[in-house]
């Protein structure tokens, strides 16, 4: 009975999400690089919730628990992102009025509320429908683009590495990686370049995947270290990137207007002759 009530509440919540999404057009501002990362994590979260909802009879309890725990980590990441945006907002009350509908999907305590992540996907879809200049956005928000790219690669490698290692190592003779938790833990430790050595792959295929993850992990955390160092070396540069870009655009527009006025003057002079 409880499963039916949970499914019914989830369906009602999905309908509410789309209803809210249709009414949120006036809350949109402009697309940012971090919005694309949030959309990517929202897709993963919705997939994990759907897997837990539909896979009770096929997936093992350990797999279902792993999906729940990973989705809970995504919840905390969403909460941190919301708190960061609220802290940076000049008008905090206006920020809450424009972004309050992201909070229900960020709460890890109630699993049916996680369907509210669809709001984030709907928002990004509406912003992308306006055909923004993505390359210009990436150049304009270089630091945010760098951080989003690093986090995107980390989450992508974490998920792909865990799945590949579990598929290659489970059931093999002498293998130490036998559960989804083992594969997830091993991939997390390897990507973070910690390397406890408590779990190691035994098959040749697993070692090949491990060698790739080690190389990617070293490069990934090297890029993250360089990014953090650049913030300390040039602390004020990140806040002036957008203002500098707007000033350059204003100067170019003023120059174009001056050239148009000069052309109009020349045309009038030619017509008078």
Per-residue pLDDT of the chain in tens (273 residues, 90 and over written 9):
444 444 444 444 445 444 444 444 444 456 677 878 888 888 888 888 888 888 777 778 888 888 888 888 888 888 888 888 888 778 888 878 777 777 777 777 666 777 777 777 777 777 777 766 777 777 777 777 888 888 888 888 988 888 899 888 888 888 888 888 889 999 998 888 887 878 888 888 889 989 999 888 888 888 887 777 776 665 544 445 555 666 676 777 778 888 888 888 887 877 776
Predicted local confidence at residue 17, as pLDDT: 47
Q: According to CATH, where is 1.20.120 located in the chain?
A: 29-139
**CATH match for 142-232 among 3.10.20.30, 1.10.287.70, 1.10.3720.10, 1.10.8.60:** 1.10.287.70
Q: What is the pLDDT of residue 208?
A: 92
Q: What angle do CA 257, 260, 262 make, to 5 degrees?
A: 110
User: Nearest to residue 37, comparing CAs of 151, 159, 174, 187?
Assistant: 151
Domain 29-139: which CATH number of 1.20.120, 3.30.450, 3.90.1580, 3.40.50 = 1.20.120
Q: How far apart are CA 50 and CA 43, in angstroms?
A: 10
- The pLDDT score that the predictor gives to residue 21 is 47
Got the DSSP string for 99-166?
HGGGSGGG-SS-GGGGGGGHHHHHHHHHHHHT---HHHHHHHTHHHHHHHHHHHHHHHHHHHHHHHHH
Distances (CA, A) of 170 to 20, 55, 184, 190: 43, 20, 13, 18
CB of 71 closer than 8 Å to CB of 114: yes
What pLDDT, in 10s, does the model give residues 245-271? 666 767 777 788 888 888 888 878 777
**Nearest-5° angle of CA 155, CA 115, CA 41?**
15
Number of residues in the chain: 273
Within the chain, which residue ranges are assigned CATH 1.10.287.70? 142-232
């Amino acid at each position: 009975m409880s499963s039916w009530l949970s499914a019914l509440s989830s369906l009602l919540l999905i309908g509410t999400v789309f209803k809210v999404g249709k009414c949120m057009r006036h809350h949109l501002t402009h697309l940012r690089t971090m919005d694309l990362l949030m959309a990517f994590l929202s897709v993963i979260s919705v997939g994990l919730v759907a897997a837990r909802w539909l896979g009770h009879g096929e997936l093992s309890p350990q797999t279902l628990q792993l999906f729940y725990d990973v989705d809970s980590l995504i919840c905390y990441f969403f909460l941190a992102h919301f708190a960061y945006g609220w802290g940076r907002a000049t008008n905090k009350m206006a920020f809450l009025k424009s972004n309050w509908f992201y909070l229900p999907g960020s709460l890890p305590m109630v699993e049916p509320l996680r369907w509210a992540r669809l709001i984030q996907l709907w928002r990004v879809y509406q912003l992308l429908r306006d055909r923004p200049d993505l390359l210009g956005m990436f150049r304009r928000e270089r630091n945010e683009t760098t951080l989003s790219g690093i986090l995107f690669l980390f989450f992508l490698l974490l998920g792909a590495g865990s799945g590949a290692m579990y598929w290659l190592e489970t059931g093999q003779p002498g293998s130490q990686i036998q559960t989804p938790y083992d594969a997830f833990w091993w991939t997390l430790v390897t990507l973070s370049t910690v390397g406890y050595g408590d779990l190691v792959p035994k098959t040749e295929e697993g070692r090949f995947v491990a060698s790739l993850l080690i190389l990617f992990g070293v490069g990934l955390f090297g890029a993250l270290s360089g990014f953090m160092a650049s913030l300390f070396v040039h602390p004020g540069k990140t806040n002036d990137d957008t203002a500098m870009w707007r000033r350059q655009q204003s100067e170019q527009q003023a120059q174009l207007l001056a050239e148009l006025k000069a052309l109009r003057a020349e045309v009038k002079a030619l017509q008078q002759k």
